[in-house]
Structure 1
């Protein structure tokens, strides 16, 4: 009712039961409101998360911690990551970020299935928080077992889009496209650009995809926060050159998670995405867990309409 065109179901958190209920609710709302809101399936991708923490604990600065992947392999472990490979590609001095960069660690010792690292910042360690290795090219399959199961569900239901997280190269997209050929539904495939490898392989990734998402949260960690505005423009430009659409995501109206109005900086950021000629802008935490979900959609819609009006009145020029 407030202007959403696509609803995202995030399979990093959503169960099949939740997804099925959401699909039915969206279809019902479409009928009642005479809308045609599309549905996007966001696959987990090769995302590493903290696991096995019995209760959250505060990690102090300069603390040395032992990191593992499985208690059966490394019993004296302080933190577990749900990574299925080994750590042999990690180098001394490599950085590890937890929870969107809130916690930074530096690797000081490496074993096959463990790392020792020194914390460079303090923070609370909790289960399910995302982990990034910005300096390391860890080994992952093109499609994880979890993604295969989620993809099977998605292709048996009426999703219009599939977004693949942490794409590294065009093979990650081609794997999904090959599996999707067997489905009666033909969802468009979106590559989420959110790591260094994706930036390096941008042209081939976009060529293999139907569209690209500028996933600015992890992109800022994997590259650097001050590079994101330029990378956003480069990704949009590359997509435009190949006649592919783009979605700008992460912290569009982050303050509206707790406040009824966006900041001036957020309004400018959202308008700038329109001026950059992105086809879509996306809300995430604002609507998934925020106190003002419908107001966030309404506010973003107002910003977009005003920016589009300005472009129309000025012949598409800023």
Structure 2
């Protein structure tokens, strides 16, 4: 059967919404591509989901697309002595290379690429933007910040850097293993998270060797700055948060 090469309505599926009956109902309701989030899906479950989708595809006699969404770099703060801390807008808060548990004034940031790249004036968004920090100074080992908005920070929350160009690619070691696994199942699409530059797409294309279409997720200002180049190497774009 000819595989689906177009995306009209994308539905994200997981263990709770992936029975063949539910997949068929979603397809009949208009979904023509099913997204598997590799941030929360191991290889065994991924293969099970793809198998169910292909079974439904045969039953309905229409092509159904499968999109594997790679996790991308996951940047997180360390842990706190009390699990979480309440901060006050205007106070100073530091992210550093000290692995000791965090306090109300500092926390470990186990990402030297961030410590060496953030400059004064750059924003650091914690926990999907619930906490906004602004860098005051950075020396490669610590980033001294001012709390701009938000009041709570807790263990292992994600860090987003809208103003900082990091010297890392979009594919992590986990992503490369996941990419090999999803390509082996014959997925139609692979989505790349946190794309910053066209080179990120080139690396994925080299691995895929035409076995799947490549979708670039636009969720960083750095990608917007080089959007024309990224479009040239992408089969589709996803505007992410």
Please state which band the TM-score falls in when normalised by the shorter chain: 0.7 to 0.9
Secondary structure at 2:149's aligned position in 1?
coil
TM-superposition CA deviations, 1:158-178 (whole Å, max 9, x none): 210011111112111011111
* Residues 93-108 of structure 1: pairs in structure 2 closer than 5 A: 93-108=121-136
- Partners of 2:79 and 2:156 within 8 A in 1: no
Structure 1 residues 44 and 83: CA distance shift in structure 2, 3 A: farther
Deviates more, 1:37-46 or 1:82-91: 82-91
Q: How many residues align?
A: 210
Residues 154 and 83 of structure 1, relative CA distance in 2, 3 Å threshold: farther
- Counting helix residues as a fraction of each chain, which structure ranks higher? 1
Report the 3-state secondary structure (helix = DSSP H, G, I; strand = E; otherwise coil) of the residue aligned with 1:173: helix
Q: CA deviation at 1:188?
A: 0.3
Q: Report if the CA contact (8 A) 2:79-2:154 is conserved.
A: no
Task: Check whether the contact 2:96–2:109 (CA below 8 A) recurs between aligned residues.
Answer: yes
1:202 and 2:220 equivalent? Answer: no
Q: 2:214 aligns with which of 185, 189, 197?
A: 189
Q: Measure how far apart 1:128 and its partner are.
A: 5.4
Instruction: Supply the RMSD in Å over aligned alpha carbons.
Output: 2.5
What runs of 5+ residues in structure 1 fail to find an aligned partner?
218-318
From the superposition, tell whether residues 89 and 43 of structure 1 become closer, same or farther in structure 2 (CA, over 3 Å). same
Secondary structure of the 1:48 match is coil
Matches within 5 A, 1:151-230: 151-181=179-209, 186-215=211-240, 217=241
Asked whether the 8 Å contact 1:59–1:122 carries over to 2, the reply is no
1:47 touches 1:130 (CA, 8 Å); kept in 2? yes
Distance 1:128 1:157 in 2: 32
Shift of 1:31: 3.5
Q: Residue 36 of structure 1 is aligned with which of 42, 51, 63?
A: 63
CA contact (8 A) 2:195 2:216 kept: yes
1:115 and 2:143 aligned: yes
1:139 offset after TM fit, Å? 1.6
When normalised by structure 1's length, the TM-score is 0.59
Question: Deviations 1:224-279 (Å, cap 9, x if unpaired)?
Answer: xxxxxxxxxxxxxxxxxxxxxxxxxxxxxxxxxxxxxxxxxxxxxxxxxxxxxxxx
From 76, 93, 113, the equivalent of 1:49 is 76
Displacement of 1:127 = 4.7
Aligned-partner Cα distance in 2 for 1:14–1:82: 24
Structure 2 portions without partners, runs of 5+: 1-24
Pick 1 or 2: higher relative contact order, CA cutoff 8 A, min separation 6.
2
Counterpart CA distance in 1 for 2:186 and 2:87 is 47
Give CA-to-partner distance per residue, 1:21-68, whole Å, 9 cap, x none: 222222233334444321101112234234545775243223433324
Give me the whole-angstrom Cα distance separating, in 2, the residues matched to 1:104 and 1:86: 16
| Structure 2 Cα separation of the partners of residues 128 and 6 of structure 1 | 32
Worse overlay, 160-169 or 31-40 = 31-40
TM-score after normalising by structure 2: 0.75
Q: Which residue matches 2:20?
A: none
Distance 1:111 1:162, change over 3 A: same
1:141 aligns with 2:169: yes
